[in-house]
Structure formats: structure tokens, C-alpha cells
Chains A and B, each alone.
Chain A
Amino acid sequence: MADNQFSKKSGEISTIIYSLGCFPAQADLHDFIAEVRTEITIGYIHLERFLPVMTKVLLEQKFPPIPEDHLLQAFEVLDKEKKGYLEPEELSKYMTQEGEPFTQEEMDEMLTALTDRDSNLIYYKDLISQLTIDPDM
């Protein structure tokens, strides 16, 4: 996937870490990248620096997966009126203003993926199980 054997672009690091089964937050990612980046190569990260740090992360299980019920509870926190669903505007407000905000692109993608076509609502309970099932794991 990387451009050449020995270096990876900084932006692709998150994809790689996620693909290895980890669930870091953005802050975690920033820390990670700070640890592996050197001044010499701007925008690129060398495999020999990446490997030891990544191995340590994996062995220590630093960014464990999020259990389904935690995710459900998180949605329920946002669903203040306990409706069982969220409206797109509601979700957008939280995702783009709270926590580690989404970019507009990320928000669009989430809405496309999660919004039920007919009702234009986000039934988070059903979605969680659907989207958490990962055949690779």
C-alpha cells in the first residue's frame, strides 16, 4: 500500500493503525505520529521507526476495540429525549462541534452511511450491530 517499501505518508498512518485492529482517538494518533516522525522526512514516516512503536502499541493493546454496548450508550447520551433515533441535524451538530470534530467530508460520509433512506433518521441501535461486524476480525 505504501509508495515505497521504506516510507509511508503521515496521513496513511491512521489507516494502517486502524487496520491492525486498534481504535485510537485523534489525540492518540497525533502522539503516535509525533513519536515516529523525524525532522528529516517531512510528510513521510520510515518503516524502521514505525515498526517498533507500532509493535509496542499492539503488544500493550493500547487502543482496544470499543465494545458494542459502550457505543450504544454513547449514542444514547446524545439522544437526549431517548427517542431511539437521531435526526441528521442532531448528529451533525454533535459530530462537527463536539469531541474531535469531523470535517464536512467525514460528516457527509457518515450521514450517507447511517441515515435510513425512507425516514431520514438514524436508528443507531440497528446500525451498530451492522457496522461493527467486521469479517476480518
Chain B
Amino acid sequence: MGCGTSVATETQVKRLQTDEAVKTPSPTLTMKAAILIQQWFRRYMARLEMRRRYTWNIFQSIEYAGEQDQLQLSSFFSFMLDNFTHLNGNGPDLISQLLDPVVDPWVDRETCYNLISIPESYTGPRISFPLSVSDTNSLLCAFKEQQTLHARYVMQLLYETKKLLKQMPNIINLSTSYTNEITICGDLHGRLDDLLLIFYKNGLPSAETPYVFNGDFVDRGKKSVEVVILLFAYLLLYPDYMHLNRGNHEDHIMNLRYGFTKEVMQKYKIHGREILQLFQDVFSLLPVATVIDGKILIVHGGISDQTDLDFLSTIERHKVKSALKFPRRGLEQLDIDHSCRQAKRMRSTDSSRPSSCRSHKSQLTPNQRKRQCRLSRQDSAASTSSSSSSSSSLCSPRTPSCLSPRPCPSSPNMPYNILQVPFLDSLSSVPLPSPPQHEQDWKQIVDILWSDPKTQEGCSLNTFRGGGCYFGPDVTQRLLLQHGLQLLIRSHECKQEGYELCHGGQVITIFSASNYYEEGSNRGAYIKLGRELVPRFYQYQVSRTTRKLTLTQRVRAAEGSALRVLKEKLFAHRSELMVGFQQYDQNDTGCVSVSEWAQVLESVVRLDLPWRTLRPRLANLAPDGSVEYQSCFEDMGPEVPLPQVTPNLAETLFRYRTDIEIIFNIIDKDHSGLISIEEFRHTWRLFSAHLGVAIDDRAIDDLAHSIDFNKDGSIDFTEFLEAFRVVHKLDIKDQQPSEKTDREKYS
């Protein structure tokens, strides 16, 4: 078939060369030439498409893996909160403030914004309450000019927003009969340019142009504060025409990792904390769903087979402050799981590697785990019911813990409802679980905010993200039928065209942050819905450059970025990977087969990526076709190797640098960028205990002292992080002399 075509072309073309008299080629020749060119170009485009897809895969996998890491980190916070709230000893710190479950968002916090005076020198926007159109206009202008709204106004705005949200139900019902078309937008993630573009293309929020914003206004993008201020301002201005759904990033614990907390603290050095508290309250008070004409359901993530809209509308939504803070019951299970897992780990051969813990954990069924756990409890008063089994899987991040499994001493004075949990060198008390009611509420909300649709039928736990479910077309069908709905609109997942339909058109994903992963990675889109309830899609893409990039250029740029991130991930797991490779390479040849290489990567890095396809970009081949596995790490190295640092420590610090940064930011109360050596040491011990990583205390101390360049007892944390930032050697022009020594040191 194909052979015929190309052979014919070849013959034809050769004939042309010999016949110079032919001025105009015959029609058949032209046709054959055209086919050849088309064939070639189509193939070229297909290759490009493949590269685009795996680039997408890489970004998305790493993004969701990050969300899993977030779960791990938040379990650490919860643990810290319950067992050790005062890191510094003097006064409540940010941890207690942020994670304190006692303060109810419903309760009015004392906000003294009235006492904040605005200096004469302030050139930013000034607004007055109640807001008017001129206020929102001045905010728009100001933000376009890169100005920042004064803390006093921010706090007042949040205070007013909180008051308004308290009056709203969990599920907002809208009707198209009184309004014109409703515009529905998806994730914005702090992209002010995209929001402004939407307003420009579609019009500002008003009676003529009502909007629904479907969550994830903050995190990741650099202008989360501005985006959310605008959204809340319009909410206050037009409460009937502006509607906001809560997203999984409207969550103060997610904000710690994904940038919103940092952005607020950087823009508002003095009042940052108070502002964050207000945001925390406001986020938990956001409605979780919108229904249009009783026919179209809009939620941020999705649904599960347990989703019940009637039940959902009755719960106290503000009680679920964070999806990542488990209800007390789950938390207690978590701690028990830790000590159980640790017990199992200690008995295994290799206790220093976290990965061995993971494999052990997966072998235990939830029932087995519960049974083991009961042994270490003092009292089996509150038995774990089966409904908690799902939350236990949710609560079970692959977090090994270094709690030593000391048998709990039975003490006659110990009240029966307190659990003794070992922590470092002492035992701490953890109160026993709260009633199951809160857990059901929590699950309803988490499912709504975190779930993703899948193509297969059924409903399974969303282990990829660490929260919510994967819901199949049957689940969608059932829910829509149950409530007389015809369509589910959700966001939560980035889509290349800005939107995507699935489940036979019953589910629409709408995503409004263009260029989310990388410049040119995707379009953004919004939906317009009129009385006939037929969605119309509008796409756009913000571009930084005026020059239009070709598809090739865009794919190349995105691909480069994705591969870079992926390589860093490999580097961060270098030791484990090397161990894995060496298991297949008993003769120490430095090579393994492609399959073996792929297998090791898959098991260590745990990203579902097309490794064989990516292989040419990641590692070199030996002449015999096997993979030289060391070449994965070749073009990466630490920026400035610190003399006393062992490779293992460097790698661990690199791998957890985001988490460490978060923790440090919390400890650094005045956000000066400096922490004391004592704080550094203390935090590191806590964190490494939680991770189950055995790091010599003295190595940490040496490290701390070596970083303290001016020897005044405090560490400039930014410099510390920089020291462990891994760079790509190919970027640095003048690396020749030191390259060899680095490789020697770290090979």
C-alpha cells in the first residue's frame, strides 16, 4: 500500500530529472509531489502532537503528585498541632493560628481595621463601603497599573464579604429568566491577565452580565490577591449577579504550599497574618455549589456516588475549614497508623528507606490495620466504624513516621478517652475521636471540591490527588436523574482547549487560566448559558509576547520546561533510583535494559508517564542499545557544593525544599527571612522525624553553622535554600573546571 506510493513518486521524480525539456510537470507528477509533502508534514505534526501530549502528561502528573505531597505535609501539621503547638515557647505562633480548630469562622473576629490609618504617601486605590461602581473601576485601574490595595481596605473588604457570605446557603439557585446569559468561568489561579481579558471580551459583572466563578481563584499565579479582591468586590457590589463557588484551593492549608500565603505575607508585611485569618474564614464560608434553572449543577471538582444535594444543602459548610485537615476521628487513626506502620517498618530489614514503608503499608488492608492499631490503644471504647475506612485511605498518605513503637504504659490515672502517642522522646496525649456526623459533612464537601471524572464506570478513590473520587458516567447519570438535572459543569482540571466534554456530554470541564503550565500550553475558556440552556464556549489565550509563536516553538518551550521539572524530580530521588538500577546491574556495567530502566523509574518516582518515549530526552544509550543509567543525572548538579554536606542530605533537602520552605515561613514569625540556629535545628528534627529519614543531628548542626556566614547565630533562610537549589549545568556557561569535581563528588 504505502510502498507503492513512495516508489511511484521516486520513479516519477527521477524521470523528471532526466527530462529537462519538461517545463510544466504532468498533473500526476504534481499530485504525487503534493502527496509526498502532505505526508511528510502530517507526520511532522503528529510527532509534535505526541511531544505536546507527553509534555502535558509530565506537567499534570507532577502537579497532582504535588497535591499528594500536600496531604503529607498537612498531616505533619496536624500532628504538630496536636502534639506540639509552641515551637518557640513565647506566644501562639502561626501554626496554632492557622490550624487551630477551635476558632469558628462563623464567629466575628475582632478586626481593628478601623484603627489602621492610611498614610498620606499612599497612592493606591481608595474605596469606601458600601461599594459602588466607581470603587470597582478604581480597583481595576489600580491593579492594571500594578498597584496594591492597602491592608486596611483589604481587611474591610474581607470583613464585609464574610458578613454577606454568612447569609448565603450552601447551594445557590439561579434563574435565567430574569437575567441575560450567565457566564461561567473556571479556575483562575491568580492570573489577573486572564480575568481582565474575560472582563474585556465579555463585559464587567452587572445585571446584564451575570457571572459564576467556579473556584480556585488563588494559588500558583502571582496575582492571587488582586484576583480575589476583584471577585469579592464585585460580589459585594452585585450580590445578585456575581456568584462564587468554593474551589479546593480556597483552603488555607493548600495556600501554604501553593503560593497564596506567601503572596499575602509579601504584599502585607504588617497585617499579613490578620488578612490571612480573614481569608481563611471567608474561604470556608463560600458556597459550594450553584444550580441554574434547577437543571445545571456547577461545582468545582465533581461528585461521588455518595453525593446528595439535599444533604449537602443542610450541612454547616464553614465547619469544613480545610479539606486537608481531617476530622478528629480520622486524625486519630492517622496517628495510630503512624505508630503501626513504624512498628512494621522497624521489623523490616531496611528501616531507613521510606519506600520500604510504603510497600508494607499497601499490603495491609484497612481491616488489618485497624486490628493492629487496637493493640496499641489503651482503651477500645470508641471502635472504628466501617464508614471511616474510606477516610482512613484518604488519611493515609505514604508518610512513614519515626515514632518509636514503645508500648503504652498503662497508668491508673490516665482518663480512658486519652490516647498516648509517642513523639520523639516523650509521650503526648491525643483526645479520642468526635462523632461521625462531622465526617460525613466533610466527605460531602471534599468530594465536591476534589473529584475528577473518569471514563470507566464506577466510583473509586482519587488516590492520584489524595482527595475526592474518580466518578464514572454511571455516577453522573444517577445523580443527574436523581435531582432532575441535565448537565454538570465543573473545573479543577486544566484542559488544552480551555474546556472539555465527557460522559456523553453530561459533564463539561471549564478552565479559565490560559498558559497554565507554560507559555502556550493551553487556552482558557468560559461558557455562556442562555435561557435555552445550551452552552456556548469562548476561548482565549493571554500572550506575553506580541509575536505569534508557531506551534513548534510553543511545544518546544513547554517541552523544555516539563523535561526540566522532570529531571529535577529524578535528581531528587537519585539515591533510590541508583539502588534500583544497581539491583538490575549486578555486574556493575553501568547499563540496564530499557524495560528495566523504565521499571525502576516507575516504581521510585511513581509518575504514570510514557517512560520509554521519554527515554531519548532523559538518558543516553550505550552502543548495544541498553541505557546508561547514570546519564539521567548528568546535567544536573548543586549550585555550590557545601563541603560538609553528604550527598544524601543534599538530596533530601532538595526533595523536600518546598515543604521546608513552608515550615520555615511559619516559624519565621516576623518574616524577616532569618531564623535562629536553634529554630532551624528544632524544625529539622521534627520534620525528619515525621519523614522517617535518619539524618545525623551533627550533620545538621554542622550544616547550620556553615550556613551562618556571619556567625551571629541566625541563618538567612533564602541563602540556605539557594545553596540547595539544583541547577542545570547546561545553563551555566562557565562550568568546565568545576564540572568534573562535582561529578566525582556526587557520583
Contacts and interface: CB of A to CB of B under 8 A. Distances in A.
Interface string B613-631: 1001100000000000000
Contact of A100 (B3, B25, B35, B43): B35
B37 A19 contact: no
A64 interface: yes
Interface in B219-270: none
Contact of B50 (A19, A23, A25, A64): A19
B501 interface: no
B551 A113 contact: yes
Contacts of B3: 62-64
A59 interface: no
A65 B550 CA distance: 24
Interface string B32-45: 11111111111111
Contacts of B548: 112
A109 B493 CA distance: 27
B92 interface: no
Interface in A62-114: 62-64, 66, 70-71, 73-75, 77-78, 80, 94-95, 98-102, 106, 109-110, 112-113
Interface string A95-137: 1001111100010011011000000000000000001001110
B658 to A, nearest CB: 29
Q: Would you call the interface of chain B mostly helix, strand, loop, or mixed? A: helix
Nearest to A7: B455
A3 interface: yes
A63 B38 CA distance: 14
Contact of B38 (A70, A77, A95): A95
B552 A113 contact: yes
B35 A99 contact: yes
B17 A73 contact: yes
Given A15-B46, A80-B24, A134-B47, A94 B30 contact: yes
B534 interface: no
B670 interface: no
B147 interface: no
B42 A106 contact: yes
A63 B50 CA distance: 19
Contacts of B552: 113
Given A15-B49, A15-B50, A109-B45, A71 B37 contact: yes
Contact of B42 (A3, A18, A112): A18
A1 interface: yes
Given A62-B1, A70-B36, A3 B455 contact: yes
Given A23-B43, A113-B550, A135 B616 contact: yes
A28 B5 contact: yes
B496 interface: no
Contact of B47 (A31, A80, A136): A136
Nearest to B1: A28
A23 B30 contact: no
B13 interface: yes
Nearest to A137: B616
Contacts of A18: 42-43, 46-47, 50
Given A31-B1, A62-B1, A78-B33, A99 B40 contact: no
Interface in A1-23: 1, 3-4, 14-15, 17-19, 22-23
Interface residues of B, number: 47
B6 interface: yes
A27 interface: yes
B45 A106 contact: yes
B38 A102 contact: yes
B46 A14 contact: yes
Contacts of A22: 2, 43
A3 B473 CA distance: 14
Contacts, number: 136
A112 B616 CA distance: 28
B9 A74 contact: yes
B560 to A, nearest CB: 12
A66 B36 contact: yes
Contact of A110 (B41, B53, B613, B616): B41
Contacts of B53: 1
Among A3, A18, A22, A95, residue most surrounded by chain B Cβ atoms (within 10 Å): A18
Given A99-B31, A135-B616, A74 B1 contact: no
Contact of B40 (A66, A94, A102, A136): A66
Among B1, B17, B50, B54, residue most surrounded by chain A Cβ atoms (within 10 Å): B1
A110 B551 CA distance: 10
B551 A74 contact: no
Contacts of A62: 1-3
Interface in B11-67: 13, 16-17, 23-25, 29-47, 49-50, 53-54, 57
B610 A80 contact: no
Contact of B29 (A77, A110, A136): A77
B456 interface: yes
A66 B39 contact: yes
Contacts of B610: 1
Contacts of A77: 13, 16, 25, 29-30, 33
A98 B34 contact: yes
B24 A95 contact: no
Interface string B86-113: 0000000000000000000000000000
A22 B6 CA distance: 12
Nearest to B45: A109
Contacts of A98: 30-31, 34-35
A78 B6 contact: no
A129 to B, nearest CB: 13
B678 to A, nearest CB: 51
B45 A136 contact: no
A73 B29 CA distance: 11
A27 B1 contact: yes
Contacts of B33: 73-75, 77-78, 94, 99
A124 to B, nearest CB: 9
A101 B39 CA distance: 10
Contacts of A63: 2-3
Nearest to B39: A25
Given A1-B53, A77-B13, A19 B550 contact: no
Contact of B13 (A73, A102, A109, A131): A73
A102 B551 CA distance: 17
A74 B42 contact: no
Given A63-B2, A112-B548, A78 B30 contact: yes
Contacts of A113: 550-552
A131 B617 CA distance: 18
A131 B455 contact: no
A73 B16 contact: yes
Contacts of A102: 38
Contacts of B35: 25, 98-100
Contacts of A66: 6, 36, 39-40
A81 to B, nearest CB: 9
**Nearest 7 A/B pairs, CB to CB:** A99-B34, A18-B46, A98-B34, A99-B35, A77-B33, A63-B2, A74-B33
Given A70-B13, A95-B37, 14 more contacts: A14-B42, A22-B2, A25-B2, A70-B6, A71-B40, A73-B13, A73-B16, A74-B37, A75-B33, A77-B25, A78-B34, A78-B37, A94-B30, A136-B616
Interface of A: 1, 3-4, 14-15, 17-19, 22-28, 31, 62-64, 66, 70-71, 73-75, 77-78, 80, 94-95, 98-102, 106, 109-110, 112-113, 131, 134-136
Interface of B: 1-3, 5-6, 9-10, 13, 16-17, 23-25, 29-47, 49-50, 53-54, 57, 455-456, 548, 550-552, 610, 613, 616-617
10 contacts: A1-B54, A27-B1, A28-B1, A28-B2, A74-B13, A75-B37, A78-B33, A99-B33, A99-B35, A113-B551
